[in-house]
Structure 1
Amino acid sequence: MFGFLGNAVARFWPIVLAAWSLLLALSWAFAPDWNAVTAGGEVASLPEDSPSRRSEQLFREAFPDEYAGSNIVLVVARQGKELQEQDKKFIEQVLAPRLKQATAGAGDGKSIVARIRTPTEQATEILLGSEDRQAALVVIELTTSFMDPRNDPVVAAVEDVVGRLREEKGIPAGLALEVTGIATAGRDLIQAELQSVRAIERWTVVIVVALLVVLYRAPLMALIPLLTVFVAVQIALQVLALLAGAGILPLDREMRIFITVLAYGAGVDYCLFLIARYREELEGGAAPRQAVAAAIAHVGGAITASAATVICGIGTLAAARFAKVHQAGIVVPFALVIVLCGALTFCAALLRLTGRWAFWPQRLAAPAGGGSSTPDLPRRLVAQHVLPNVWEKLGPALLRWPGVIWSAAVAALVPFVVVAVLHYHDQIYNPISELPPDVPSQAATRTLEQHFPPGITGPLVVLLKSAWIDFSDEKNLEAVARLTNRLLAHQDELEIADIHSVAAPLGTSPAAKETLGFFPVSPQLFPAAARQRAIQYYVSHSGDWKQHLTHLDVVLRVDPFSREALSALDRIEDALRADLPESELAFVGATASARDLATVKHADQRRAEILVPIVVFVLLLLVLGRVTISIYLVLSVLFSYCATLGVTLAVFGLSHWGGYEGLDWKVPIFLFTILVAVGEDYNIFLVTRIKEEVGRHGPLQGITEALARTGRVISSCGFIMAGTFATLLSGSLLAMQELGFALAFGVLLDTLVVRPILVPAFLILLQSGRLGRLGQRQALEPEEVPPGAGGVRKGRRMSSECG
């Protein structure tokens, strides 16, 4: 098949170039803007049947006028002093009217502002004022989710009001006015994502070009892979945007980052392996047309097999239930398929176009027996290898001490594997934590947390359903009061700062106790009008559970997204179920969504940890035909993954000493899938070459010969792949930085330790019979070399490697 493809490309290369150019032009002409057809947000990616998503729907039906998907919060505070009367007048007479006017006209179409709550009355002052009386909140509740693009004009309008007040000096002296809230943080997160995408795409191109030029020092040699991957990636992105715009394939904005980084890293690798074999064929005496055809015929299968490992490995993520992970399992393999096709056709056509000039100013080696010529000084300087061929020296050492070298390499990495195992579940599920600390919403949040509990902007909403209890009946309010008091009795254990309910509409804070003059909660002491207002707000008056559903708003002492909050939610649920065995419970809010995210992610992680190794093992078995070697290759990359995870935890833990809770939840699952798949990618190239060299040099010498021949080219590809992953560090989001470091380190670990040491050492032990009967049964058999397979002649090293 690859022989036919090679001949076709070599013969009809102008048609191939024209076809790819036409596809690129059409995709650019008809595809919509990526940002216009993609969405973002972790909660929106949860399965529809997750408990928090179902609870949100129930809340909307039961309280259609009360549901707020997100909010903008203005913090009004004085440092070290209580708010003054002029501050309250400023909020009531200046700030609130301007906010209503500005938000009413923000955006297009229907307003997304549900209500604006201000601390201008006694009741709202208790709810929105701080315990130290030094701060108050103005809350703008929105009907949209926290990363909905429709929030942007409203947030901008609010920030504009604050900015104008500062310019006009309309804020009382000494009064701080800052903007935060989850909608504001969501806007900042979207902007950070877009900035990260632009930075990563820019640095990916820069780093790939720089590495290609430094490693190969031939302009066209650098341009050909880059142009190939650029065209393929652009076509993939535009086709995906078309599918998203048509409603066929929902897409997350972050998918562009994964596609760009993986496609550039893998695509350049595929091109370089093809170019390396093309150069061998030229140096073996073939003309450019025959060299292109032979290169595709000889390495097309290996490139496709290694690509299939990456594509199928990452494709297992399509089985995930979390939408963002599920999408990655579809769109990344789709892009890699296009890149693979580009490498085997567009790149080959460019080689056919440029001929021997692809390697200028380097001089190709003369064919064996074809005489020799002395290159001029500039060509000699360019022809010097950047990477010293340490693999020629490593081979004899491995032949002499395979067990010792293998044991030393493993022993050096074991401590990091232990770190990974001990801290494997130290993960965070807070999307806001990805933001840089200097963005405005984060600075305002720090001010807010000086005066209020962290859970104030995202209370945990507990829905109580009972077919036997009419919560609108005043005589049943005492049951809710007793439940509220029982929760307060364990306030410290449950991390509860305050509770608002139909029995305690003003909450249970010291300010509420002081205003009411009594405690514990006792609704019978409320005025009748106050009880009716509480019933109107906290008891459902629509939907299937009319009057039989009420909600409690629980303000936590800890960050609603933190692991402490998730643990507190579990304890609160246990306590409520013990008290209300016959009632149904549901939970809404950031903490409930984060818990569902953790549950779904753990299930997806377990699924990936099973499926990816199985798929990779099956592909290895098909390519190599040896069970033992296939199992070992899978175990070697799993070991590399654990070591990489341990190093990443250590590095980021030390760099955020005292305030580091763990890796972002996306890092382990994407790191596992990508590193296992990409690691086997390089192993396939090495082992297939070993099979070829064993036929020429014998069972042991063939291993070291293959290592020496492929050392520079595979290592160069590893450095380029690591460089593309390292571009993730240029983004401003912490999760991207963690993943970028982990992937870059993992690829380098595979390039410098697993592939040149752990794999050859094991194969030497196996082939030499030191593993007993296992070696006799599972040793590699030589691959039959086709007659006239040009390129590498006995005794000549792969001259195309890095130079």
Structure 2
Amino acid sequence: MNRPLSYRFAEFVTRRSWWILSVWVVLAIVLRTAAPSWNDIAYDGDFEYLPSEMTSVQGDRLLDDAFPGIQSRSQIVLVLGREKASRSSKVELLKTDDIVGLDLLRRLYHRLGVVSWRRGLEHGYTSGNPEDTPNAAWASWITLSREALDQSIRLDQRFYERVAEQLPDVKSTHTEPRMAIAYWDRGRLLEAWGGEDEMVEGDYEAALLLIPDLPSQVIPITERDLSGWDSLLDVLAWEDPVVGPRLRKDGVRLAVLKLSSELAATGNIKTIDAVNELIDQVTRYSMPFTEPGLELRMTGSAAIGGETLMGARDAIRYTELFTVGMILFILTAVYRAPLLVAIPMISIGFAVVVSMSLVALLTRWSMQGIVPGLDIRVFTTSRIFVIVILFGAGTDYCLFLISRLREEARVSAWPAACRRAISGVLGALIGSAMTTVVGLGMLWIAAFGKFHYTGPVIAICLLVGLLVCTTLTPALLRVCGPAVFWPSKVQQQKRKPRSLLGPSGSQLASQEHSGFWGRIAILLTRYPATAMLIGGALLILPATYGFKNEGSVTYDLSSQLNHQAESRRGLRLFAQHFNIGEINPVTVLICRAEDSARADLKKDVRKLAAELYQQEGVTTVRTADDPLGDFPPSRDMSLFGSDAARRRILQNHRVAQRYFFSDVPKYENRLVRLDVMLDGDPFSVETANRVIKLEQFLKQHLNSEGSNWKTSGIDTKVLLAGTTPSIIDLRSVTLSDNRRIKVAVVVAVLLILILVLRRFFLSLYLILTVLLSYYATLGLTVWFFKLAYGNDYVGLDWKLPLFLFVILVAVGQDYNVYLVTRVLEEQRHLGAIAALRRAVSRTGGIITACGLVMAATFFSMTAVVWFPPIARTFGFASESGVALRGIVELGFALGLGVLIDTFYVRTILVPSFMALVGKATGK
């Protein structure tokens, strides 16, 4: 007898149960041991994964090539000030507020001195022999270290003078936090690299006077823990006599920490922790010296990027915790049987360990080039999707298998029941899983790296989950036997001829179909047209709203963080006094085809800067001639006035050295850098449009006929870098990806449905119901968060519509496939309407349970918002995490969408359509 493949597979699993269990245990151990940690191979950020041909990516690459080792890729801005009552009002800092500022800066400059010294050592010339010839990199870092230590000591002296002046009753301490170690460090620096003996001895004497046993306490410079500070390149602060005027206004002072790390580099978490520790030290020591109301906040691109990573970390922690907790609760409520709770949890645990270890191992092989052609990357936030989808889908697979096993165990012996259950659900499980796998796999066609890699990674993990649930789970059930249902029992009954809704004449059929889902089945099949029209009409209104607001998204990175995030609070304080664009300039890179004299190049730059000031929205242009943009063409300046003197000093300050012109031979006297500040929010559409116009102007102007920039008939290359150009490219790429991916996902899922169901119009209808569900979910999500955020609503996270679409279209078909395949199975023995009633009544409860599980796993992504306050209300200690709005919004939307699919689409729209078709065809 030629038995179906599904039956032969089921027979193999049930006969080789112990062998299958052993294989999975060994596989999990081997992969877990061999695979690297997820955090070690995970990437972060958004801009880094734009296509290489985008303008901002080429600009960043050119910056790295032309300014190696000194390129600041992000920054932290420390804001010391008092809040204004309104934008137009004025506020002044108190004299005692200077004490706090001096305390902050003396600590900052000391850290800069130590970091620069260490970096100088790393660049060679460590012997200290005056006969050695130092290289330029070594000399610049040692010089910066000396300047920073000098500044730290001067500020330390002023700090205690100010304390004595303003608060004569306060006794100063000559222990910590006196900067005795700064004297010692400067003495060691001077002693090692040619300082005068008197200065060296003076520094040692000052250090020992403050702390006599300091030598026994000092850690050598090469052994000091610089965790969090190793990316620090420079500190620009309001006390600097040259750049200081641009960093202070009435009521606020700024200190800018220039960092070598990317905006969203994982190392920025340690940097934020280190800066927060420094702020805490200043707050504890010197804040009591002044009046309440003074704030010391942190913001800037690195602060926003770092806190975004912290938000992802918190979201992962809460999501994993609540995903497991919610599934345990639902399984316990559904089964009230210990083994039926344990077996799905064990199965999913194996699926998570094996799949994530496999992906991590493949990623490392891809990064190292071990496997030719392998191209896999993972991201920090990818872990969230893997966890929730694996736990949700895996639990659903287990629930359907166990539900079918319970049915079969009533009429068959345990081995036969296991075979029948596996064989009966295998097609539905594979079909539903493949819609998700193929749908998510379509993200591979995306140009944006995060989309391109995330979908296939989740698909791989889901395939592993499917394999676990169709092998390991039934093997566990087979080994445990009927005891899995303990403390309840399954009474075996003989099979009887099928009736309309079940075994004829049996008490079982009466009990099953007199229940809730039995009544729903009867109602839907009696009035299918009414149910379908009313059901569809109720979704049309929110779906229309969602369709109109599908583009209502924001690319504002800072808006991802909640109001309590430190960088958001710092940004609000900064924005009260400064234009936010001042810490997010647009970097313009102009590269001529041929070399030219430096003097001629500077002359052309001055002329270009004057023309840039005439462009819409341009407030400041920073060039080598005007490094801070303090002297626009409209500003009158005499040749021998104070402004002219300050301008000359600025041109020789370190902020201008090796910044506007490259010293790399390849680009020397060819490459020019300008920083352009625009009026407005760098994340807004209005600013983006201004930057696009600015780029068009530069390309047309510099390459027009007769332009001094065009040499030998070859066009000058113009590239833009910075936050706004990166957002422009990100928006362009993701919008293009959205259009292509949505079409690809719909077509791919439709083909899978046709392949599985063999019903074209039914498959097409299922796609249409999920599309309706998607737009209705999107509309309700927009409405909810507009209400929740109020005036703070600027749009949903830009990633939400695409991920919501792909996951809902793919995952949302699971329950439709479960129902329809059961209907088609029942139609082998019953008529269309009878089969539909039986399928709805038999699957209604279990599909509802599956939908609740999947929705609960998605809603767990929002736990970082609501759990901490609830825990504190009941007296439990719980720290508030840094909630990422994008993850919270997506978790809410996905959970809502699954509930709509479970309780509305599958319950009303799909059965009513099948009833109409059944009545019309008479089948």
Deviates more, 1:566-575 or 1:707-716: 566-575
CA distance in 2, matches of 1:668, 1:259: 19
Match of 1:421 in 2: 547
Match of 2:560 in 1: 434
Match of 1:358 in 2: 484
Match of 1:766 in 2: 917
Match of 2:678 in 1: 556
Offset, 1:41: 1.2
Secondary structure at the aligned position of 2:804 is classed as helix
Deviates more, 1:59-68 or 1:464-473: 464-473
**1:199-210 maps to which residues of 2 (within 5 A)?**
199-210=318-329
Match of 1:87 in 2: 98
Deviations 1:229-248 (A, max 9, x none): 11111111122223334436
Deviations 1:454-498 (A, max 9, x none): 122221112233447948325x6565445434443454xx3x443
Q: Residues 665, 392 of structure 1: CA spacing in aligned structure 2 closer, same or farther, 3 A cutoff?
A: same
Offset, 1:652: 0.7
Residues 420 and 649, structure 1, Cα contact 8 Å, conserved in 2: yes
Q: Residues 684, 545 of structure 1: CA spacing in aligned structure 2 closer, same or farther, 3 A cutoff?
A: same
Offset, 1:392: 2.0
CA distance in 2, matches of 1:445, 1:95: 23
Matched to 1:331, the amino acid is: V
Match of 1:250 among 355, 362, 377: 377
Deviations 1:677-733 (A, max 9, x none): 112121111111111222333123322222222111111111111111111111322
Q: Residues 744, 155 of structure 1: CA spacing in aligned structure 2 closer, same or farther, 3 A cutoff?
A: closer
Deviates more, 1:80-89 or 1:436-445: 80-89
Offset, 1:178: 2.7
CA distance in 2, matches of 1:282, 1:176: 69
Offset, 1:184: 2.5
Match of 2:450 in 1: 324
CA distance in 2, matches of 1:306, 1:138: 56
Match of 1:788 in 2: none
Matched to 1:256, the amino acid is: R
Matched to 1:100, the amino acid is: L
> Is 1:696 paired with 2:821?
no
> Is 1:488 paired with 2:613?
yes
Match of 2:52 in 1: 48
**1:133-148 maps to which residues of 2 (within 5 A)?**
133-148=250-265
CA distance in 2, matches of 1:518, 1:252: 56
Q: Residues 86, 266 of structure 1: CA spacing in aligned structure 2 closer, same or farther, 3 A cutoff?
A: closer
Residues 96 and 289, structure 2, Cα contact 8 Å, conserved in 1: no
TM-score, normalised to structure 1, is 0.86
> Is 1:269 paired with 2:402?
no
Match of 2:729 in 1: 596
> Is 1:409 paired with 2:528?
no
CA distance in 2, matches of 1:46, 1:688: 42
CA distance in 2, matches of 1:254, 1:243: 18
Deviations 1:202-233 (A, max 9, x none): 10011011111112322222222121111111
Offset, 1:165: 2.6
Match of 1:756 in 2: 907
CA distance in 1, matches of 2:340, 2:51: 46
Secondary structure at the aligned position of 1:451 is classed as coil
Secondary structure at the aligned position of 1:610 is classed as helix
CA distance in 1, matches of 2:35, 2:821: 40
**1:289-688 maps to which residues of 2 (within 5 A)?**
289-368=415-494, 389-467=515-593, 470=596, 472-474=598-600, 477=602, 479-491=604-616, 494=617, 496-508=618-630, 517=637, 537-542=659-664, 544-582=666-704, 583-688=716-821
Gap regions ≥5 residues in structure 2:
84-90, 117-223, 369-375, 497-509, 705-715, 865-882
Offset, 1:254: 1.2
CA distance in 1, matches of 2:428, 2:851: 16
Offset, 1:127: 3.1
Secondary structure at the aligned position of 2:587 is classed as strand
Residues 99 and 161, structure 1, Cα contact 8 Å, conserved in 2: no
Gap regions ≥5 residues in structure 1:
371-383, 770-775, 782-803
CA distance in 2, matches of 1:266, 1:201: 15
Offset, 1:55: 0.7
Q: Residues 78, 282 of structure 1: CA spacing in aligned structure 2 closer, same or farther, 3 A cutoff?
A: closer
Matched to 2:530, the amino acid is: V
CA distance in 2, matches of 1:620, 1:225: 27
Residues 70 and 260, structure 2, Cα contact 8 Å, conserved in 1: no
CA distance in 1, matches of 2:105, 2:762: 77
> Is 1:112 paired with 2:239?
no
CA distance in 2, matches of 1:392, 1:386: 7
Match of 2:187 in 1: none
CA distance in 1, matches of 2:545, 2:513: 33
Residues 460 and 589, structure 1, Cα contact 8 Å, conserved in 2: yes
Match of 1:716 among 842, 846, 849: 849
- The number of aligned residues is 748
Secondary structure at the aligned position of 2:598 is classed as coil
Matched to 2:19, the amino acid is: I
Q: Residues 412, 167 of structure 1: CA spacing in aligned structure 2 closer, same or farther, 3 A cutoff?
A: same
Q: Residues 106, 655 of structure 1: CA spacing in aligned structure 2 closer, same or farther, 3 A cutoff?
A: same
Q: Residues 110, 154 of structure 1: CA spacing in aligned structure 2 closer, same or farther, 3 A cutoff?
A: closer
Q: Residues 708, 536 of structure 1: CA spacing in aligned structure 2 closer, same or farther, 3 A cutoff?
A: closer
Matched to 2:267, the amino acid is: R
> Is 1:22 paired with 2:139?
no
Offset, 1:762: 1.7
Deviations 1:41-84 (A, max 9, x none): 11222233332111111122233365211112222325511576
Matched to 1:574, the amino acid is: Q
Q: Residues 65, 259 of structure 1: CA spacing in aligned structure 2 closer, same or farther, 3 A cutoff?
A: closer
Deviates more, 1:38-47 or 1:62-71: 62-71
Q: Residues 227, 96 of structure 1: CA spacing in aligned structure 2 closer, same or farther, 3 A cutoff?
A: closer
Offset, 1:271: 1.0
Offset, 1:639: 1.3
Match of 1:71 among 62, 72, 75: 75
CA distance in 2, matches of 1:409, 1:565: 44
Q: Residues 369, 717 of structure 1: CA spacing in aligned structure 2 closer, same or farther, 3 A cutoff?
A: closer
Residues 184 and 441, structure 1, Cα contact 8 Å, conserved in 2: yes
Offset, 1:499: 2.7
Matched to 1:563, the amino acid is: V
Deviates more, 1:705-714 or 1:501-510: 501-510
Deviations 1:363-406 (A, max 9, x none): 32441379xxxxxxxxxxxxx99999433223333333322221
Matched to 2:752, the amino acid is: L
> Is 1:741 paired with 2:892?
yes
Match of 1:231 among 350, 359, 372: 350
Match of 1:60 in 2: 64
Secondary structure at the aligned position of 2:355 is classed as helix
Secondary structure at the aligned position of 1:424 is classed as coil
Residues 115 and 229, structure 2, Cα contact 8 Å, conserved in 1: no
Matched to 1:749, the amino acid is: I
Offset, 1:152: 3.9
Residues 234 and 257, structure 2, Cα contact 8 Å, conserved in 1: yes
CA distance in 1, matches of 2:638, 2:569: 37
CA distance in 2, matches of 1:359, 1:62: 69
CA distance in 1, matches of 2:658, 2:115: 27
CA distance in 2, matches of 1:151, 1:110: 9
Matched to 1:274, the amino acid is: L
Residues 848 and 902, structure 2, Cα contact 8 Å, conserved in 1: yes
Tell me how large the CA RMSD over aligned residues is: 3.2
CA distance in 2, matches of 1:643, 1:563: 26
> Is 1:217 paired with 2:340?
no
Secondary structure at the aligned position of 2:71 is classed as coil
CA distance in 2, matches of 1:386, 1:740: 35
CA distance in 2, matches of 1:528, 1:726: 60
